[in-house]
Structure formats: structure tokens, C-alpha cells
Chain A
Amino acid sequence: MGERADVWQGTLALMVLKTLQALGPLHGYGIARRIEQTSGDLLAVNYGTLYPALLKLEQEGYISSEWGTSDNNRKAKYYKLTRAGRKQLEREAREWEQTTEILARFLSPGKESA
């Protein structure tokens, strides 16, 4: 399996929002799996930490939840992105890009900013 990084809180929220945008309504397990897969199994999501994060997002009004039935006929709680969530995703994605860009410039040798 190799070295795997832990996910930190702020980025986890962003990943959740992005996942829901990409896949539409999804249950907690699905979100966790998807994040792991997308990272190419580089990230180890402690599945449990996901639930308080989901609750926080729901309290902030970015996602909403509803009990539904899964593909194999199992009862599961489905989360879906709200309109506020979409905006928040855009905002956070932009901020994240900015941060990474700054860091990239900072770290890449020979290309020091004036």
C-alpha cells in the first residue's frame, strides 16, 4: 500500500463538495470511497472522520441529507449539494488554486518572484 497521507479537515470539506458536484447525491460510504479512488489511493480516509465533517457542512447549509435506497436496495443517507454549496465549492476551489499556485511558485527553484 505504501505511504499514505492523512486528510486534513479543511480539504476534506472541499473534497466532499467536489465529489457531490461530480457524482450527484451520494451516501457517506460512497463519498469516502470516491475520495480514496480519486486520490489514486494516495489518501487514507479514516471513514469515521467523514461524518462529523458532513454534519458540519449540513449545518452550514452547503449540503442537505435525506434517507434513500442504494443500488443494492439498502437504506442509506444521501447527501446532495445545495445552491449555497455550489457557490462555496467555487469559492474554496479558487482559494485552493491560489494557495497551491503561490506555494508552487515559492517552491519551484530558479523562478523566484520579484
Chain B
Amino acid sequence: MHWEFPEADAGEHIEGACVGENGDTSLRVLVADLHIHTCLSPCATLDMTPQKIVKEAKKKKLDIIAITDHNSAENIAAVMAVAEDVGLAVIPGMEITTEEEVHIVGLFEDVEAALSMQYQVYDRLQPGKNDEDLFGMQVVANAFDEVEGMNTRLLIGATRMNLGRVVKAIHERNGVAIAAHIDREAFSLMGQLGFIPDGMNLDALEISRRMTLEQGRLVFRDLKRIPFLTSSDAHDLEEIGVSPTGFRVTRPALTELKQALRGTGGRGIEY
């Protein structure tokens, strides 16, 4: 079977409807890895191609993956095309580098929203050309694992958008904003800014694979008003699915994950 993503505007109406119509019996735990890079990210290995990523995700028994390259969304459609045939849900995403050099993972309901975010990011990305020898290749791939071309932008760089603006831009596109790997020092919200600024409307905090979700909840217990999840931040195939999060939802769609993060409608984070 393959998964249908809901229309973008249908999402908010599902919240009440699903519980009443389908009941909690249709809820099940879906295993997600919501932070995976492809060969488009300069720091990822070149075998992070659409077909290999999907194959590895299936092997690791994941139900949902999110493709989150640095400051770009150009490989998402290819991964989705491959995944559609094998019943793997792909959430379009992007790992955006804010002005403060904080990594924020944005997850979107459809490719169009991710590409719209990409245009804004490209417009404000640090100028310059990627140096392949220094930072790595930025391969745009198609669903056949063929090279479509090289992205020449400085994807490793930061955008001229501060943290608040990035989160707002994600929300304007009905997306989910997650502070990436908060337990790491480099490029993390806690490492760069020390604490979460007032009024920062983050949807989740990501614990890296360096610790378990439980350990993360303990270390960052002061932040527990925000939901925690854990993802692999995979830059090579082996890393895919090493620290998955189990979501109690009815379908593998972002609207469901949103409810699980909020803990509404019987949805929730299982582990």
C-alpha cells in the first residue's frame, strides 16, 4: 500500500474528527526517524541517495522518515517518489541554520511548503559558492539515484534569519519547528544561546542519538513544557533509524505527528 498525504488545509480539521469517527482503536505506534540528510548535504556521505535511504529505512523497520538537508529541499521529491512504492511515509523537511548558527528542523505537510521555505532560505543564505574539497559535494539526485546536478550554494552557511524568524516562517507554512540536537554543543539552541528565549514557539526539542530520550528528558527537565523527540540526524546509511521515536497516531502524516506532539486526540509519543 502507499500512504496518501492529506491536503494541506485538511489537517486542522482532522483533530476532532478522527477521534469521534475512527475512535482510539485505529491508533497504532508508528516508528519515525525525523532527521535524515541526503547526499545533497555537504557533510553527508555520497551513498545517501534516494533509493539507498528508502531501502535502509525499510530494513530498519521505520514507518516514517523526514528528509532534512541543510538549508535545501531539493532531494525530497526524489525520496518521496521512491518511498511511495514501498509504503514508507516521507515527511518533507529542512534543517535550517539560523543567524545565531542554531539548527532548526522544519517539517512540512507537502513538498510545496518545503520548497516555499527553501526560496526564503536561499534568498537569505550566506553568499558564496560551495567548496567541494572543503565541505563536500552537494548532489541533487533523482528517484533513479542518478545525479541531476550539483547545488553550488553555500548550504553549510548560515541564513540571515534569526531564530524567531525561522520558527515563524516554518509556522506560516503550517510546519513543525524542532530545535535540533539540543544536547550537542555545536549548532544547537542550548549551545549557541544557552537557554530558550522567551516567546519561542518551538513544537519539539530533539535529543541526538548520543543519549536516550529518557536521559534527555532528565538532563533538560527544566524544558519539559516542550515535547521531546529523538532522531538519528543520519549523515550515512548506517545511522538511519538508530534512535527512532514511536508516535501513537492513526496515519503517518504530519498533521497526526502534530497532534502526537501536543498530546491531543489520543495521539502521543510512545517512546
A in complex with B: no
**Chain A residues in contact with chain B, CB under 8 A?**
none
